[in-house]
Amino acid sequence: MLWDGIPMSNKLSVINIIKDHISTLKDYDNGRYSILDLFIFFILPIFVSSIIIYFKVILSDQLVNVLVMSLSVFAGLLFNLLLLVYDIIGKPNSNKRPLRATLLKELSSNISFGILISVVTIILLLVFSLATTSDVLTNHNVISNNINISSNNTNEAYDFALLDAQTMPYLLAFLIYYLVSIFILNLFMILKRFHIILRSEFKRDTS
C-alpha cells in the first residue's frame, strides 16, 4: 500500500532522514562530500567519547536527568523551528532563489536529524538509567547467589556475567556521549545556517 508514493512499510524508517542529513555535508563548489565535515561530525565524536570512557567518566543519575530534560526541550524547539522553516518555504517566491531554497532544504534535513538524534539519545539514557539501577548489573552479589560457583564451568559463567555487567554501562555511556557530541555539533550547524538565512532576509528587506 502506498501513501504519496511511499510504501506504508517505510513509514517508520528513518534511513531517509540520515541520508538527507549526510547529503548536506557536501562542498557547494564540486558537489562532493566534504571529508573534513564527515570527520568533524561523525569521526571526531568517536575520539571524544573514547577519551571520556578511557577516564571512566560514567553518567551519574543527576547528569542523566539533566540530559533527558535538556534533549527534550531541544527536541521541542527543533520541532518548532522545523515548522518555521516549512512556513518560510511555503511563502510566495521562496523557490525563485535557488541558493536560498537549497539552504532551507538542507536546514530542514539537519533539524530532522537533530530531532532523531535527541529522541534516540533519550531512549538510550532511559535504558542506561534502568540498566545501572538493576541489581543484575550493579550488584554482583546477586549474580553470585544465583550461580553455583563450585565448579569450573560455573566459575566461567559467573566471570562472564560479571564482565557483562561491568561492560554494559560503559558501552551505553559511550553511545550516549557519541550521540550527544553529534547533536551538539549538528546544533551549531543549524544555528549557523539559520543565521545565514535570517541575515539574507534582513539584507533583502533593507535593500
Could you state, in order of their start, the residue ranges of all structural domains in the chain? 2-206
Q: Please state, in angstroms and rounded to a whole number, the distance separating the CA atoms of residues 195 and 101.
A: 15
At 53 the pLDDT is: 92
Asked if 148 contacts 15 with a C-beta cutoff of 8 angstroms, the reply is no
Report CA-CA distances (Å) from 105 to 23, 100, 143, 184, 204.
11, 9, 53, 20, 20
User: Residue 142 has what pLDDT?
Assistant: 47
pLDDT attached to residue 143: 46
Residue in this structure with the C-alpha cell 541575515, named with its chain if needed: 199
pLDDT tens track, the chain, 207 positions: 444 555 545 677 899 999 999 999 988 778 889 999 999 999 999 999 999 999 988 888 999 999 999 999 999 999 999 998 888 877 766 556 677 788 889 999 999 999 999 999 999 999 999 887 754 444 544 444 554 444 455 555 545 444 456 788 889 999 999 999 999 999 999 999 988 888 877 777 676
